[in-house]
Chain A
Amino acid sequence: MRDLNDEELMLRYAAGEMQAFEELYGRYRAALYRYFRRQVPDEATANDLYQGCWEKAIAARSRYRARAPFRAWLFRIAHNHVVDHHRAQRPGADTEPDQLPGAPADPGDLADDTSRRARLAELLGTLPFEQRNTLLLHFESGLDLEAIGQLCGVGRETVKSRLRYATRKLKQALSP
């Protein structure tokens, strides 16, 4: 099973092989979990989103045709799941929240004695949703700029722009 690529494993699972899914799940469980953990402020919500995303993938296994890489397929489900969650939290809103609830408005407001892990996590929360989501997809999915753009429904240059602005902002916040 370890020698099989992601697409073959998913097809085997669609055919009924449970071991194929276990292997596939082991490869993406952590990245997908962190993606959801950085999108919402609390762990419980993140767990719900994470489990819901996998359930959607399991239900859609019969429709998987391996025309696109499995990771792109999986993170597309995750991205849409997050967007649906934010829209459900803010009915009537046309856009996702720029910042996560509870995140400091200014990166400079972070305490100096906060651990580096916490500071980076909190800094990500200060970014607008489009920049945060694009950055997390770049960090966790391993997809190129073109694939991220297709997943988000934007062009490659838009993805670059979002990444540039996010990088600049975080760099300024992290610089001493």
Chain B
Amino acid sequence: MNTHDKDNWPDDLEALQRRYRSEATEEPPELLDQAVLNRARREVERRATRPWNFGWMHATASVALVVLGLALILELRESAELAKDHGAAIEARDPRADAQSVRETDAGAEATFRQRKAEQMEAEQEIQKSVLLRELREDAVRPTAPSAAGAPPVVIVRPAPPLQQNEPDDPASAALGDSAATPARGQRQERTASAAAPLEAEASPDEWETDGDLLVFSSAAEWLDYIIGLRQVGEEDAWRSELDAFRQAFPDYPVPEALTRPDANGDEATAGDG
């Protein structure tokens, strides 16, 4: 190996380059030149026909995208913080306390409701009672012929109870008419022996309604006398029912012993409370 040649390779390379430049004379054909130049010209013309420059549009679009992205991120962060605070407040509350408070609230409301309902029912009952009493009074207060002694008008009107003894010659009926339960004043309508015979007032029959059997008592005592009379004649059902009605109408009125002592069967006269 020639070391001189090895050390002179740059000179050899330069010699080769000179030879290459002298020999390499090729050039591209003219058609190829025209093809390249036409291509370059079309690119310039194509860009010139565009009404806008994409350069600034790209920058503007990029900036707008960044701004929108930041706004969206901030909005999401605020929403997340609000949701976090609200969730913490909900979690901080004791659910058991909430349930207890709800139960207490419900119990109190229910108690109030029941109380109001009971009061309402009582009021309604009072109203009904007052209406009934008013009706009773209206029925009872009928213009009657004044007695000779100026006695007060009749205050008690009762439908006659059904009697077991319906024969006109029934000795009980006769006894009833002879009983001591004779009203001292006022008028008294008694049921006759015939159940079909309506009672008629001895005075002012035109002022009374005769749509049913009616008993008219001028006082509670008179009514009691009538009841005693029913018991004496053996009208068990009748005097018991009348006594019950009397005690409801006059709960505080003393009932005579004749109506409270047991009967022959040992049954005491009972009546509903009131």
Contact = CB atoms under 8 A, between A and B. Distances in A.
B32 A120 contact: no
A50 B28 CA distance: 9
Contact of B9 (A37, A135, A167): A167
Contacts of B29: 47
B45 to A, nearest CB: 9
Interface stretch (A22-30, A70-78, A81-89, A91-99): A22-30
Contact of B28 (A29, A38, A116): A29
B51 to A, nearest CB: 15
Contacts of B17: 138-139
Main secondary structure of the interface of B (DSSP, over half): helix
Interface in B20-43: 20-21, 23-29, 32-33, 35-37, 39-41, 43
Interface string A89-131: 0000000000000000000000000001100110000000000
B96 interface: no
Nearest to B17: A139
Given A30-B26, A139-B21, A163 B13 contact: yes
B74 interface: no
Contacts of B196: none
Contacts of A55: 36, 39
A167 B48 contact: no
B172 to A, nearest CB: 137
Contact of A25 (B6, B24, B25, B37): B37
A154 interface: no
B16 A167 contact: yes
Contacts of A33: 26-28, 32
B104 interface: no
A65 interface: no
A139 B18 CA distance: 9
B33 to A, nearest CB: 7
A168 B37 contact: no
A18 B44 contact: yes
A95 B43 CA distance: 35
Interface of A: 13, 16-18, 21-22, 25, 29-30, 33-34, 37-38, 47, 50-51, 54-55, 58-59, 61, 116-117, 120-121, 135, 138-139, 163-164, 167-168, 170-171, 174
Given A17-B44, A139-B21, 11 more contacts: A22-B40, A29-B33, A30-B27, A30-B28, A50-B32, A58-B39, A61-B43, A120-B23, A138-B17, A139-B20, A174-B19
